[in-house]
Amino acid sequence: MGNTLGVGVGVGIGLGLTVGAAALIQADGPKIGDEVVASQYQYNTEDIDEYSAERLRDAMSYAKDNAMLIQVPVLGTTKTFWRLSDEATRISRKLALILRSQHSVCKYLTAPLQVSNVWIGSTGNVKLRGVSFTGEGFFSIERVRDDYKHLSRVLWLLIMISGGDINKLPQDYKDFLLLLRRNNLTRKDEFLIVNNAALLPMKNRTEVFLMLHDRIVNYLGQKNQAKKKRILYNLPYKNDWLDTAIANAKINQWVVNVKNEYKRTTMGLLRLNRNVRSHLHEYGHDDDIEEILYCEWPMLLIAMEKQLHLKGELQDTDIENKFG
């Protein structure tokens, strides 16, 4: 059996992969900062027998049997909404983590990533097979951009193979794919890629919203009012969010049963989302309200995250630990 290279939680890519060496690389969610990133990894090379460690399935056959883009009802309305399955977002993030780990030690793919290189384990691990990375060298933002562009194409193809209509992708995931393809991607943007809100499990979105809300409204409200105002100005839905909330029979309960009426402002939108998420058991919708909020305002959380990233505030949150 060939040597393989595993990456566990909090563990970086080892130094044993040379130019032209075939690799089986596992991403399991290392914590990643965004300074001189190579110094933030612990390196560990681990030999794994790829046939006995875990049964792997090629991504193409996995995608054919598992819909990555799913249609869900928007409860409280007669609408439906297309979103990525939690499995699809997990796969997306783990592939990005593999590339980010290699880039942290100035290694890059020697050939474009292909769907055939992606393998998925029975426990949800994502691995690459039949790829090689360059030896350690100088940091190259051009090579980083190339790697992520190829990843974008692979994710796009996997969704199509699974039967998904690319035209029905939710806007936040479209923005994630656009980020991967950006020609002006910077080294700091890798932090936003691997911790992108579009890749959050549905069950974790409430915790992340409350965390980002606290950073914008409370922390910046005290420390930097100007930065807070700029972030709020750039958030979406400021003109129609209240109409959307009133029209949804589930969310409307939080709108009408409130002492202080909501104002048609961005702060009003954030206040409503905070109140709903802080009182999930209020009207017995704790099992579905998070999905309702996402379907009605799919760009809210990713826009909050992006604005914090642009203002240099995102890395001071705990976002990288919210994907488990």
The whole-number average pLDDT for the span 298-307 is: 98
Q: What digits encode the pLDDT tens for the residues 103-114?
A: 999 999 999 999
Residue 39 has pLDDT above 60, yes or no: no
The mean-pLDDT minimum among 23-27, 127-131, 192-196, 312-316 falls in: 23-27
Query: The tokens of 21 are what?
Result: 């060496």
Q: Percent of the chain scored above 90 by pLDDT?
A: 76
Task: Report in angstroms the alpha-carbon separations of 57 from 61, 99, 274.
Answer: 7, 20, 41
Residue 25 has pLDDT above 80, yes or no: no
Measured CA angle at 39 (ends 191, 29), to 5 deg? 45
Residue 32 has pLDDT above 60, yes or no: no
Residue 99 has pLDDT above 50, yes or no: yes
Mean pLDDT for the chain overall: 85
The whole-number average pLDDT for the span 175-189 is: 98
Measured CA angle at 209 (ends 203, 214), to 5 deg? 145
Contact 232, 304 (CB under 8 A): no
Residue 214 has pLDDT above 80, yes or no: yes
Between 155 and 39, residue with greater pLDDT: 155
Contact 6, 121 (CB under 8 A): no
Per-range mean pLDDT, top range of 24-33, 74-83, 251-260: 74-83
Can you give the pLDDT at residue 285?
A: 59
Can you give the pLDDT at residue 264?
A: 95
Residue 14 has pLDDT above 90, yes or no: no
Can you give the pLDDT at residue 3?
A: 34
Band (pLDDT 50/70/90 cuts) for residue 287 is low
Can you give the pLDDT at residue 280?
A: 73
Residue 165 has pLDDT above 50, yes or no: yes
Residue 81 has pLDDT above 60, yes or no: yes
The mean-pLDDT minimum among 24-28, 272-276, 297-301 falls in: 24-28
Place of tokens 């606290």: 214
Residue 307 has pLDDT above 50, yes or no: yes
The whole-number average pLDDT for the span 291-297 is: 97
Task: Report in angstroms the alpha-carbon separations of 222 from 216, 218, 312.
Answer: 10, 6, 16
**Host H or E run for residue 273:** helix 266-278
**Spatial CA neighbour of 295 closest among 248, 262, 253:** 248
Task: Report in angstroms the alpha-carbon separations of 309 from 90, 110, 171, 213.
Answer: 21, 30, 19, 14
The mean-pLDDT minimum among 15-19, 22-26, 91-95, 98-102 falls in: 15-19
Can you give the pLDDT at residue 233?
A: 98
Q: What digits encode the pLDDT tens for the residues 226-249?
A: 999 999 999 999 999 999 999 999
Give the distance from CA 276 to its chain's centroid: 23
Between 58 and 43, residue with greater pLDDT: 58
Residue 2 has pLDDT above 50, yes or no: no
Query: The tokens of 267 are what?
Result: 């702060």
Residue 318 has pLDDT above 80, yes or no: yes
Can you give the pLDDT at residue 258?
A: 84
The whole-number average pLDDT for the span 34-57 is: 42
